[in-house]
């Protein structure tokens, strides 16, 4: 069951007019919220990022955080899986095609849930291969825009090469992955590229840095050069669906020893423990 503009219905019955600005212009934003044991993980933070994305595209938020929370809980309740990936999207609505904003148009609000698929054990235990590419996206990557053609083309390069993700480089520096954030370990220090207009402020990125802080993993938020990426001891990806994944190969060359390293192992454990703990805590 999905939610579309005030109604719950089966996905197969959901219809959006072809003049929706999401379809015509990619004029909208989205969020993807992981749900464990029917409880959304870091919901407040996802809703805050949604607010920032909506401000970024000058679209008033159609719902208060409480309304969003109720709608999301309702979608979760109406679907059969314990662990879900809740996808929500807001577009500027349906209007005659014209680039400038339409007046008096209701935004289109869509929420769906799918079963959450976290990475298979082999990826966690053995690590994954990535490729690199020039980051040719726009300069407002901190907006979670549904206009994802650059990300789609970049990810397809990885798919074509039999790799799992494309790690992006801009002007000689690491930005992020096509759909993930990227961390590097050098001299036993976890390095995270700063959150600015060149990357999406990942919810998982924040969790990982909080866990590094509380778990005594030394870390630094600073720019990471291409050289530092390519000669790193460890590299890892984070996202709501990938959680934390060790990268053991970049462009066909081994990362460090070519297997998941100790900093990854520590953060992965901390992340799994944290998830379990949050899921047991009373609702907030
Ligand atoms: N960067 C990009 C470009 C992404 O698409 C994603 C996944 N939505 C992320 C980073 C990771 O963000 P999060 O941890 O919130 O899933």
- 144 given a catalytic annotation: yes
Q: Which residues pair with 27 in a beta bridge?
A: none
Same domain for 142 and 42, yes or no, is no
Taking the C-alpha atoms of 148, 152, 158 and 160 in order, what is their torsion angle to the nearest 10 degrees?
180
Query: Where does a domain end: 55, 90, 115?
Result: 115
Q: Kindly state the percentage of the chain with pLDDT values over 90.
A: 97
CATH number at residue 19: 3.30.470.10
Q: What is the pLDDT of residues 95-135, one digit of tens each?
A: 999 999 999 999 999 999 999 999 999 999 999 999 999 99
The whole-number pLDDT of residue 284 equals 55
* 101 and 92 Cβ atoms separated by less than 8 Å: yes
Query: With 60 as the cut, is the pLDDT of residue 23 above it?
Result: yes
Ligand 1 atom having least distance to the Cα of 34: 16
Residue 278: band (very low, low, confident or very high) from pLDDT cuts 50, 70, 90: confident
Q: Which residues pair with 14 in a beta bridge?
A: none
The whole-number pLDDT of residue 280 equals 83
Same domain for 25 and 90, yes or no, is yes
Same domain for 71 and 171, yes or no, is no
Please work out whether the CB of residue 202 comes within 6 Å of at least one atom of ligand 1.
yes
Task: Name the residue with tokens 């390519």.
Answer: 230
Rounded Cα–Cα distance for residues 120 and 129 (Å)? 14
* 232 and 185 Cβ atoms separated by less than 8 Å: yes
* 5 and 108 Cβ atoms separated by less than 8 Å: yes
Q: What residue's CA is closest to ligand 1, atom 5?
A: 179
The whole-number pLDDT of residue 279 equals 82
For the chain, give me the number of helices (H) and strands (E)? 8, 15
Please check whether residue 283 lies inside any domain of the structure. Answer: no
Rounded Cα–Cα distance for residues 196 and 214 (Å)? 24
Task: Name the residue with tokens 């060359």.
Answer: 253
Mean pLDDT, rounded, of the chain = 97
Query: With 70 as the cut, is the pLDDT of residue 188 above it?
Result: yes
- Map residue 111 onto helix, strand or coil: strand
The whole-number pLDDT of residue 283 equals 63
Q: Around Cβ 18, how many Cβ atoms within 10 Å? A: 9
Please work out whether the CB of residue 112 comes within 6 Å of at least one atom of ligand 1.
no
| Total number of domains constituting the chain | 2
Residue 163 CA to ligand 1 center (angstroms) comes to 18
Please work out whether the CB of residue 79 comes within 6 Å of at least one atom of ligand 1.
no
Q: What residue's CA is closest to ligand 1, atom 10?
A: 180
Residue 76: band (very low, low, confident or very high) from pLDDT cuts 50, 70, 90: very high
Same domain for 245 and 262, yes or no, is yes
Please check whether residue 186 lies inside any domain of the structure. Answer: yes
The whole-number pLDDT of residue 36 equals 96
- Specify the pTM: 0.97
Q: What is the pLDDT of residues 148-179, one digit of tens each?
A: 999 999 999 999 999 999 999 999 999 999 99
Same domain for 272 and 171, yes or no, is yes
CATH number at residue 267: 3.20.10.10
Q: By residue range, what is the domain housing residue 50?
A: 2-115
Same domain for 169 and 219, yes or no, is yes
Ligand 1 atom having least distance to the Cα of 200: 1
Same domain for 144 and 256, yes or no, is yes
Please check whether residue 284 lies inside any domain of the structure. Answer: no
Residue range 22-39: mean pLDDT, rounded: 98
**At residue 124, what are phi and psi to the nearest 5 degrees?**
-70, -40
ipTM: 0.99
Give the dihedral sign, CA 183/185/189/191.
negative
- Map residue 83 onto helix, strand or coil: coil
Please work out whether the CB of residue 203 comes within 6 Å of at least one atom of ligand 1.
yes
Same domain for 111 and 126, yes or no, is no
Rounded Cα–Cα distance for residues 34 and 42 (Å)? 8
Ligand 1 atom having least distance to the Cα of 240: 16
Give the dihedral sign, CA 130/132/138/140.
positive
Give the containing element (helix H, strand E) for 19. Answer: none
């Amino acid at each position: 069951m999905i939610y579309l503009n005030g109604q719950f219905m089966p996905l197969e019955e959901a219809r959006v007019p072809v003049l929706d600005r999401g379809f015509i212009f990619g004029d909208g934003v989205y969020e993807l919220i992981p749900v464990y044991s029917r409880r959304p993980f870091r919901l407040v933070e996802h809703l805050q990022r949604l607010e920032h994305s909506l401000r970024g595209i000058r679209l008033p938020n159609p719902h208060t955080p409480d309304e969003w929370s109720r709608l999301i809980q309702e979608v979760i309740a109406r679907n059969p899986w314990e662990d879900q990936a809740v996808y929500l999207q807001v577009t500027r609505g349906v209007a005659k095609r014209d680039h400038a904003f339409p007046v008096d148009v209701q935004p289109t609000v869509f929420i769906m849930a799918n079963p959450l698929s976290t990475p298979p054990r082999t990826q966690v235990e053995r690590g994954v291969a990535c490729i690199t590419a020039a980051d040719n996206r726009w300069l407002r990557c901190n907006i979670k825009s549904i206009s994802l053609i650059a990300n789609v083309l970049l990810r397809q390069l990885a798919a074509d090469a039999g790799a799992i993700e494309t790690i992006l480089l801009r002007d000689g520096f690491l930005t992020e992955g096509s759909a993930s954030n990227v961390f590097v370990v050098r001299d036993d220090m976890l390095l995270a590229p700063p959150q600015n207009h060149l990357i999406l402020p990942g919810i998982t990125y924040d969790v990982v840095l909080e866990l590094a802080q509380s778990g005594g993993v030394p870390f630094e938020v600073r720019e990471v050069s291409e050289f530092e990426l390519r000669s790193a001891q460890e590299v890892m990806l984070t996202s709501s669906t990938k959680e934390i994944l060790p990268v053991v190969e970049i462009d066909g060359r081994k990362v460090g020893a070519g297997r998941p390293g100790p900093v990854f192992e520590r953060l992965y454990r901390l992340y799994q423990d944290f998830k379990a703990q949050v899921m047991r805590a009373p609702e907030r």
